Amino acid sequence: MKHLAILGSTGSIGASALAVVETHATKLRVVALAAGSNAALFAEQVARCAEGLVAVATHPDVDLVLCASSGTAALDAVLAAIDAGKTIALANKEVLVMAGGLVMEAARRKGVPILPVDSEHNAIHQCLHGRSPGDVRRLILTASGGPFRGRDRASLRQVTAAEALKHPTWQMGPKITVDSATLMNKGLEVIEAHWLFGVPGSQMSVLIHPQSIVHSMIELCDGSVIAQMGITDMRLPIQYAFSYPERWDAPMPYLDLTTCARLEFHEPPWDDFPCLRLAYRALEAERSLPIVLNAANEIAVAAFLERRLDFTAISELIAATMDAHVPAMADTLDAVRSVDRWARAHAAELARAWHARPPAPLRAGEGLRG
């Protein structure tokens, strides 16, 4: 019997996790739950929920902590859970984007496994299982392309939040759904994969795969490609993290390849969706720039959902915030928080100014250094 704590139990990942628990009631037991509220009330969430998240994550009866709460509020809870020796099932990208070095070093020091729940990283974890790092040439993350696949940048300026929230294959929360629409979600996953698997950005590729059947792949040194495939149901990667290193039966439909007509793979539209390039830029610079990328993105997405920024201004605001920052070491939690606070304040000020007087539209790639 594994005893679980779930951070973010009311979100889509949390609900799927509880469904997995109900299916495997003789193997899994929930000891503690934590849930937040409206993402727009971020500062208030931290004040109200951070202490509660830590208490849940470090409950003495807990073996495994599922971090499914969105945003950055869970960072303290994850570090506290690691310090308490809990296994971490991670479904929160921001934790590693902000403080990947701190989190992974803490996990290494305590001998705590970090098991990825995101379908892409979960797929790579499965593909890498039992393989020597020297065998791997490249990680290949797949992306559905979001609701605006095939649209050019000029046509995206007038899209609405309602349109951005209509993901073609996954049911997710609003922030991550908008991130999928901008391709920032995939950019954050590239940074997350760097910390999870110790692979530089130069050895990671992104492919648009509209069918969302191949969840990710690895390319080996001899040119072989290993892919993990499955239906689009988050209960599968959640169950994998809960059961690891075992595998359990799943009461879900199996993938029927005869119904999959065809599987397509395309190069990402870098110029039309520049958030992906910004994420690679942040990873290449490392130090504090991924913190700025993440914080500015959260502010920009919130402003877009509140109709204070248009869709294409999300990437423009992130780029402007990154341009205003001089990367520095952020190897302590206090340093991470300091950079995060600065980036949020700077991005929020830009968002207010741009709402009052929208900036002139950028040409493709302008102001977005590669």
Residues 199 and 90 in one domain: no
188 in the Ramachandran plot: left (φ > 0), alpha (ψ -120 to 50) or beta? alpha
Q: What domain count does the chain have?
A: 2
CA distances from 301 to 185, 296, 334, 350 (A): 12, 9, 25, 13
pLDDT at 333 over 80: yes
Residue 218, in any domain of the structure: no
Residue 19, in any domain of the structure: yes
Strand order in the sheet with 87-90: 28-34, 2-7, 64-67, 87-90, 114-116
Q: How many helices (H) and strands (E) does the chain have?
A: 14, 9
Q: How far apart are CA 77 and CA 217, in angstroms?
A: 31
What are the pLDDT digits (tens) for 166-178? Answer: 877 766 778 888 9
Q: How far apart are CA 156 and CA 318, in angstroms?
A: 17
Residues 195 and 335 in one domain: yes
Over range 219-239, report the average pLDDT.
95
Domain CATH for 68: 3.40.50.720
Residues 52 and 168 in one domain: no
Q: How far apart are CA 18 and CA 28, in angstroms?
A: 10
Residues 167 and 300 in one domain: yes
Over range 343-369, report the average pLDDT.
70
Going by pLDDT thresholds of 50, 70 and 90, the confidence category of residue 369 is very low
Q: How far apart are CA 149 and CA 131, in angstroms?
A: 34
Residues 106 and 199 in one domain: no
What are the pLDDT digits (tens) for 243-288? Answer: 999 999 998 899 999 888 789 999 999 999 999 999 999 999 889 9
Q: Which residue has the tokens 């990328």?
A: 293
Q: How far apart are CA 192 and CA 189, in angstroms?
A: 5
pLDDT at 359 over 70: no
Residues 194 and 278 in one domain: yes
Residues 56 and 102 in one domain: yes
Residue 227, in any domain of the structure: no
Residues 17 and 60 in one domain: yes
pLDDT at 347 over 80: yes
Residues 197 and 312 in one domain: yes
* Percent with pLDDT over 70 in the chain: 90
Residues 302 and 192 in one domain: yes
Would you state the pLDDT for residue 170?
66
Residue 215, in any domain of the structure: no
* Percent with pLDDT over 90 in the chain: 65
pLDDT at 223 over 70: yes
Residues 156 and 293 in one domain: yes
Would you state the pLDDT for residue 71?
60
pTM comes to 0.88
Residue 297, domain extent:
148-206+269-356
What are the pLDDT digits (tens) for 14-73? Answer: 889 989 998 999 999 988 878 765 344 334 433 444 667 888 899 999 999 999 876 666
pLDDT at 363 over 70: no
